[in-house]
């Protein structure tokens, strides 16, 4: 079978497995393609495999029939869990498995899916595992560079999904999580109906993390000049970053810590504004159609910025200064004694983006 006829020719009711193990941004930026697939072929049954910590990102998504978790636990428990998943996969009788991850774990589950058609990108290791290879996504869309949402959708365009405009990303938050957030905001002293902003000052690398003093200034401006309550958030183990912001602010912060992704989504869903670094939470806020200001350092904003980009979604702003060395791997600064790309961003640059969005209707 030729690739462009694969999806159109699948029999009604066929099961399709999509493997996208991690992380927050990658999984959220898969949801536009999932929506296109389900809208076009509602008769197909889509299962998506992600790591357990990211399950919440797909809960409630009408395009996803089933969320599969590759394994849980450790040691013997992990092995038994993996074997149970493999047995379940083989019993599902998948017609098609599309691996969008490419690592060794995803290759294992692609092999054991027993799908008739196994699809992966041509640059993946172990390409002999796949009976259909997806070429460079840029050639599929005939563009010199692609956003990650476009890159993932391109794989399905290659398999026969009609090429059309790629919609915004989506995540969903349940009523129980909304109730949880209402209790939290009351505890924080934020009155019902009072506008609030979520500031997320952490990132995967220091080259992607704006200065704590900058975030403290933004918070103080929002509170004192705009009348917007500010909540600072962080992920597991990231408390020291909030401590640094609190020290710079010279006053205690409202902190949102220890929340699940579903709970965090509920907090974001009601926010007037999100301000943060290039990180998973920024993609969550954009997927919830919040106004977002994202500060970029070492990574590429055309590839990893909010989706849809600013030209199609006026509610997003990217703040980034140009450097010849951008983008880079980001694990450390390869050119300067400190990551100038992110630290050169000024408070006034971020404030300008914030004011611009606050002047827009939600």
Read off the pLDDT of residues 286-298 as tens digits, 9 standing for 90 and up. 999 999 999 999 9
In a domain? residue 281: yes
Q: How many domains does the chain have?
A: 2
Q: Which residue reads 């694990």 in tokens?
A: 331
Domain end residue (candidates: 100, 128, 158): 158
Quick one: 203 and 300 in the same domain?
A: yes
Domain end residue (candidates: 158, 184, 215): 158
Quick one: 339 and 305 in the same domain?
A: yes
Question: In 3-state terms, what secondary structure has residue 341?
Answer: helix
Quick one: 255 and 179 in the same domain?
A: yes
In a domain? residue 168: no
Is the pLDDT at 90 greater than 90? The verdict is no
In a domain? residue 163: no
* Rounded-to-integer distance, Cα 248 and Cα 213, Å: 5
In a domain? residue 95: yes
Domain enclosing residue 98, as ranges: 3-158
In a domain? residue 91: yes
Quick one: 202 and 351 in the same domain?
A: yes
For the chain, percent helix, then strand, then coil, each to nearest 5?
Answer: 40, 15, 45
User: Tell me: the pLDDT tens digits for 231-240?
Assistant: 999 999 999 9
User: Tell me: the pLDDT tens digits for 193-249?
Assistant: 999 999 999 999 999 999 999 999 999 999 999 999 999 999 999 999 999 999 999
Cα-Cα-Cα-Cα torsion 41, 47, 52, 56, nearest 10 degrees, comes to: 30
> How confident is residue 313, by pLDDT bands cut at 50, 70 and 90?
low
Quick one: 181 and 325 in the same domain?
A: yes
β-pair partners for 277: 295
Sequential DSSP letters for 213-279: HHHHHHHHHHHHHS--EEEEE--TT-HHHHHHHHHHHTSPPPEE-S--HHHHHHHHHT-SEEEEESS
Tokens of 257: 């810590």
User: Tell me: the pLDDT tens digits for 51-61?
Assistant: 999 999 999 99
In a domain? residue 183: yes
User: Tell me: the pLDDT tens digits for 3-55?
Assistant: 889 999 999 999 999 999 999 999 999 999 999 999 999 999 999 999 999 99
Is the pLDDT at 362 greater than 60? The verdict is no
* Rounded-to-integer distance, Cα 51 and Cα 337, Å: 36
Quick one: 180 and 140 in the same domain?
A: no
Quick one: 216 and 309 in the same domain?
A: yes
Burial (0-12, 13-18, 19+ Cβ within 10 Å), 9:
exposed
Cis-peptide, bond into residue 23, ω within 30° of zero: yes
Quick one: 79 and 221 in the same domain?
A: no
In a domain? residue 28: yes
Percent of the chain with pLDDT over 90: 86
Quick one: 120 and 231 in the same domain?
A: no
CATH no. for residue 209? 3.40.50.2000
The CA-atom distances, in angstroms, between 290 and each of 175, 273, 275 are 18, 6, 10
Q: By C-alpha distance, which of 284, 337, 290, 298 is closest to 316? A: 290
Q: How many alpha carbons lie under 13 Å from residue 294 in its C-beta half-sphere? A: 31
Q: By C-alpha distance, which of 192, 195, 278, 177 is closest to 231? A: 195
List, in sequence order, every beta strand (DSSP E) within the chain: 15-19, 45-49, 66-68, 96-99, 117-121, 132-134, 196-200, 229-233, 255-256, 273-277, 292-295, 316-319
In a domain? residue 169: no
- Yes or no: say if 357 and 317 are a contact pair by the CB < 8 Å rule: yes
- Yes or no: say if 15 and 45 are a contact pair by the CB < 8 Å rule: yes
β-pair partners for 68: 49
Quick one: 251 and 290 in the same domain?
A: yes
* Rounded-to-integer distance, Cα 217 and Cα 334, Å: 28
Quick one: 55 and 197 in the same domain?
A: no
Quick one: 153 and 206 in the same domain?
A: no
pTM of the model: 0.94
């Amino acid at each position: 079978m030729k690739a462009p006829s694969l999806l159109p020719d699948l029999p009604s009711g066929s099961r399709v497995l999509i493997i996208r193990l991690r992380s927050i941004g990658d999984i959220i930026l898969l949801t536009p393609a999932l929506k296109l697939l389900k809208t076009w072929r509602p008769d197909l049954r889509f299962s998506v495999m992600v790591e357990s910590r990211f399950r919440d990102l797909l809960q409630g998504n009408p395009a996803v029939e089933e969320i599969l978790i590759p394994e849980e636990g450790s040691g013997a428990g992990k092995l038994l869990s993996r074997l149970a998943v493999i047995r379940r996969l083989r019993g599902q009788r998948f017609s098609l498995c599309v691996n969008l991850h490419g690592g060794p774990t995803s290759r294992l589950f692609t092999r054991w899916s027993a799908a008739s058609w196994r699809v992966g990108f041509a640059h993946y290791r172990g390409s002999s595992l796949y009976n259909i290879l997806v070429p460079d996504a840029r050639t599929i869309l005939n563009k010199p560079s692609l956003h990650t949402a476009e890159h993932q959708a391109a794989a399905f365009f290659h398999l026969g999904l009609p090429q059309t405009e790629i919609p915004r990303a989506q995540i969903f938050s349940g009523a129980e999580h909304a109730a949880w957030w209402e209790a939290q905001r009351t505890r924080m002293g934020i009155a019902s109906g009072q506008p609030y902003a979520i500031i997320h000052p952490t990132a995967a690398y220091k080259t992607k993390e704006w200065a704590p003093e900058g975030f403290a200034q933004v918070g103080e401006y929002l509170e004192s000049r705009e009348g917007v309550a500010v909540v600072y958030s962080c992920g597991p183990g990231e408390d020291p970053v909030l401590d640094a912001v609190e020290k710079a602010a010279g006053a205690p912060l409202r902190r949102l810590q220890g929340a699940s992704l579903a709970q965090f989504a509920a907090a974001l869903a009601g926010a007037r504004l999100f301000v943060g670094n290039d990180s998973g939470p920024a993609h969550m806020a954009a997927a919830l159609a919040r106004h977002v200001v994202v500060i970029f350092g070492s990574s590429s904003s055309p590839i990893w910025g909010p989706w849809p980009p600013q030209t199609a979604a006026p509610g997003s702003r990217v703040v980034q200064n140009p450097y010849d060395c951008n983008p880079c791997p980001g694990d450390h600064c390869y050119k300067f004694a400190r990551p100038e790309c992110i630290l050169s961003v000024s408070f006034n640059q971020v404030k300008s983006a914030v004011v611009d969005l606050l002047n827009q209707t939600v």
